Amino acid sequence: MKQIILTAIYLAIAMCINAQSNTIQIEYFLDTDNGFGMNTVMDITSPDLDITETILADIPSSTSLGYHKLYIRAKDENGNWSHTIRKQIQVFAPVVENNIVLGEYFIDQDPMFGTAETFNINPEEGDIMQQFSAQILETVTLGYHKLYGRVQDSYGNWSHTFRKNIEVYLNPDTSIVEIEYFFVDESDSGFGSNNLLSIDVPEDDGTWNFDVSYPPGVYEDISEIDTLFVRVKDSNGKWSITTTLDEIGPGLGLEDSLFKTVNISPNPFTKTINLQTSKTLEFKDIAIYDITGREVYTTTEDLRTLNLENLENGTYILSLATENEKATFKIIKQ
């Protein structure tokens, strides 16, 4: 791709006119001489007998790239011109930052460079880590296909074409139709074999409130029934992952539990969270789990501020335990 021609070059020239008169002007021309005084003329800023002058020569944008001859001569105050000096120069494309500015992708067959589906590059840099969404046309058959992609730089050059294997399959609409739950002491009886609740109005996404009866028995403190596990089933009969419920309303005798006495702020958070309590208590164990149940943070210190800067953005379960109680809360890092 042809770029904008270089517009200016610097030359330092040393000229001397034999006559005992000051040099007052310089003229220059490229390749073709139009005659004395008929080319580009510039005044000398400090006229003198012997001069060393630095000039800025403008190169017309119509000048082709490659080698050319630049001619220079000087005139004294009596109107006499010096010998003409010739300099070999090269006109080349300007140097610009070579950033990646555009991407394109296609499925299976290459429609040729610059004619595939495009995606934006942001930010435009020399090295990029870019994510993009590839739209799959309805005409693409179900099964395995090859997704190709490439990027273009600011010079118009294309990279090598990369290839990824993909699978195209139907993703039918589904709704949540059933919820099941169990406490940690009851153990998991298997999918669909625990306490079941039907959804009156099935939805693909939503929030549901439901009452949970604690397992039969006499409890001295809430720590004996501390963890409630929940999962849902969609209209295709597929179960979600099993997770712990983060907000459990207090039952009789539980108004003074950790659920009521601990305030977590800010939530959502960016780096740290603060644990504020309405009564005097000591945390014996603090732990954080991701949505898959993997422990990502733990401490046995009685902390009131948790530095969670190293966690990735997302939803987590915070578990707090004292000598007699334990509770879980949902926290979100953003």
- Supply the CATH number for residue 17's domain: 2.60.40
Q: Is residue 130 part of a domain?
A: yes
pLDDT at 146: 94
Report CA 197 to chain centroid distance, whole Å: 41
| 38: exposed, middle or buried (Cβ count in 10 Å: 0-12, 13-18, 19+) | exposed
237 shares its domain with 257? no
What's the start-to-end Cα distance of the chain, in Å?
Answer: 44
Domain that holds residue 231: 173-245
134 shares its domain with 192? no
Q: Is residue 226 part of a domain?
A: yes
280 shares its domain with 308? yes
pLDDT at 263: 86
pLDDT at 103: 94
pLDDT at 47: 85
Question: What pTM did the predictor assign?
Answer: 0.31
DSSP annotation string for 171-213: -----EEEEEEEEGGG----TTSSEEEEEEEEESS-------P
> 318 near 217, Cβ under 8 Å?
no
Q: Is residue 1 part of a domain?
A: no
Average pLDDT per block of 10 residues along the chain, 334 residues long? 36 46 89 92 84 76 88 89 88 78 94 93 86 86 92 92 87 82 75 84 76 58 62 86 62 51 87 85 86 82 89 86 78 87
230 shares its domain with 209? yes
263 shares its domain with 333? yes
Q: Is residue 2 part of a domain?
A: no
- For residue 323, the domain's CATH number is 2.60.40.3080
110 shares its domain with 160? yes
**Between the CA of residue 199 and those of 233, 240, 332, what are the distances in Å?**
10, 15, 26
317 shares its domain with 259? yes
pLDDT digit string (tens) for 91-113?
A: 887 766 788 999 999 999 999 99
Q: Is residue 315 part of a domain?
A: yes
66 shares its domain with 26? yes
Q: Is residue 3 part of a domain?
A: no
pLDDT at 152: 94
pLDDT digit string (tens) for 213-229?
A: 666 554 444 444 557 78
Query: Structurally, how many domains does the chain consist of?
Result: 4
Backbone angle region of 95, left / alpha / beta, with phi > 0 → left and psi within -120 to 50 → alpha: beta
pLDDT at 215: 61
237 shares its domain with 183? yes
Question: End of a domain among 148, 168, 188?
Answer: 168
